[in-house]
Amino acid sequence: MKHYILAATLSISAASIATAETWDMPTPYGDSTFHTQNIAQFAQDVATATNGELTITVHSGGSLFPHSEIKNVVRAGQVQIGEFFLSTLENEDSAYGLDSQPFLATSYADAAALWAAQQPVITELLDAQGLMPLFSVPWPAQGLYTNGEIASVDDLSGLRFRSYNAALEEFAILVNASPVQVEAADIPQAFATGQIEAMITSPSTGANSTAWDFVTHYTPIDAWVPKNIVVVNKRAFMRLPENVQAAVIEAAATAQTRGWEMSAAEAEAKTAVMQENGMIIVAPSAELTTGLQEIGAQMLETWRADASAPALAILDAIN
Ligand code: PCA
């Protein structure tokens, strides 16, 4: 009997060693970013739930692949899983870009309603490329970083303005600024070398890039609540044993809930950090808000002109 048990134990551990798998997971943002911390916890949860049958190695800060390549390397199966900024795919379909349209969804409640409407459309679009979304987490609402107070949209004219996607580039052009594409990790360097003079991003990225070293004012215009998404290569996922697949799905759902909570906590905490470091936090003037809303309305018209029927249906669903 004893021998039996020993033999059985040996064969189980041999089996689990045989199926143990390691996935590489490139992400664009650094280790101090809450998204990265949430993903590290997700990887830990998967390892624990599967007793090490699946290990996910997180390669943060664009260290394995640059941000712009992450989706395609997951699609090609060079890596099994990855994270990126969802709206960078808006050149593929307008459905991806809605969370970066100014003043369309500015609170977490609106962002959640938008994600609920986007999710089925995006899932289908990604499915056609052999990809499956696992979870999506928003950044805190996006605010304005400048030297000196910005009283109206006219004050943005002529500034070298950091951009992170096509919508922000369009925005910069509409306010007569000059857009410069810069990854989050490169923000301090871009300010230090004079490549950029102003930006729109979350308090999270503002504090992580020590914005106080480069600009004096933060104006919480709370213009949009953009999201990151984590996707998996479907073939890689299907190859996993069923119990491991289930553990990944469960850890992803937990990560999504935890990520939204972390994001909300960040908004306040990181604005306080900026204030403690001497930044002046100014509420947007009525004139600035009106001017920005006009630009948002104009951008949404342009978006509509390009949008597919399913993308337009997302807009209808949230309005
Ligand atoms: N931080 C990222 C995306 C949005 C945000 O808040 C960035 O600035 O690149």
What is the per-residue pLDDT across 136-146, written as a single tens digit (0 to 9) for each?
Answer: 999 999 999 99
Contact 101, 303 (CB under 8 A): yes
The pLDDT value given to residue 151? 97
Measure the CA–CA gap between 239 and 243, rounded to whole angstroms.
Answer: 11
| Percent of the chain residues past pLDDT 90, beyond the cut | 94
In the structure, which protein residues have their CB atom closer than 6 angstroms to any atom of ligand 1?
A: 85, 139, 142, 164, 184, 201-202, 204-205, 226
Instruction: Identify the pLDDT of residue 292.
Output: 98
pLDDT for position 17: 52
The predicted model gives 181-185 an average pLDDT of 97
In the prediction, which pLDDT does 6 show? Answer: 47
> Any idea what the Cα angle at residue 127 is, between residues 114 and 49, rounded to 5°?
85
- Percent of the chain's residues with pLDDT above 70: 94
Mean pLDDT throughout 275-299? 98
* Residue 317 pLDDT greater than 50, yes or no: yes
Ligand 1 atom 6: residue of nearest CA: 202
- Whether 139 and 205 have beta carbons less than 8 Å apart is answered as yes
Kindly report, as residue ranges, where domains of CATH 3.40.190.170 are found in the chain. Answer: 21-140+226-271, 143-223+281-318
Calculate mean pLDDT across residues 96-121: 98
- pLDDT over 90 (residue 253): yes
Instruction: Please give the average per-residue pLDDT across 234-257, as a whole number.
Output: 98
Spatial distance between the Cα atoms of 296 and 318, rounded to a whole number of angstroms: 16
Residue 7: per-residue pLDDT:
47
Give 100 Cα–ligand 1 centroid separation in angstroms: 11
Exposure string of 101-114, with b = 16+ CB inside 10 Å and e = fewer, is bbbbbbebebbeeb
Outline where DSSP puts E strands in the chain. Answer: 21-26, 54-59, 81-85, 131-138, 143-146, 160-163, 178-181, 199-201, 217-219, 227-233, 280-281
Looking at domain 143-223+281-318, which of 3.90.1150.10, 3.40.190.170, 3.30.2020.10, 3.30.70.20 is its CATH number? 3.40.190.170
Provide φ and ψ at 160, rounded to 5°.
-80, 115
Q: What is the atom index within ligand 1 of the atom nearest the CA of 28?
A: 9
In this structure, are strands 54-59 and 21-26 parallel, antiparallel, or unpaired?
A: parallel
How far does the centroid of ligand 1 lie from the alpha carbon of residue 16, in Å? 40
Give residue 319's pLDDT.
87
Kindly tell me if the per-residue pLDDT of 30 is higher than 90: yes
Number of residues that this document lists for the chain: 319
- Cα(248) to ligand 1 centroid in Å equals 26
294 — pLDDT class (breaks 50, 70, 90): very high
For ligand 1, the distance from its centroid to the CA atom of residue 265, given in whole angstroms, is 16
> DSSP label at 140?
P
Cα distances (Å, whole numbers) of residue 119 to 20, 25, 99, 105, 125: 31, 22, 12, 15, 10
The 8 Å CB, 24+ separation contacts for 35-43 are 35/83, 35/137, 35/139, 35/228, 35/259, 36/60, 36/61, 37/262, 38/137, 38/255, 38/258, 38/259, 38/262, 39/83, 39/230, 39/255, 41/255, 41/258, 42/135, 42/230, 42/251, 42/252, 42/254, 42/255
State how far the alpha carbon of 10 is from the alpha carbons of 21, 55, 203, 310, in Å.
19, 21, 52, 53
Whether the pTM exceeds 0.75: the reply is: yes
* Residue 176: CB atoms within 10 Å: 13
Q: Specify the residue with its C-alpha closest to ligand 1, atom 9.
A: 184
| CA–CA distance, 115 with 99 (Å, rounded to integer) | 8
Residue nearest to atom 1 of ligand 1 (CA): 205
Say how far apart CA 137 and CA 255 lie, in whole Å.
Answer: 9
Task: Name the CATH superfamily housing domain 21-140+226-271.
Answer: Bacterial extracellular solute-binding protein, family 7 (3.40.190.170)
Note the pLDDT of residue 19: 67
CA 111 to chain centre: 13
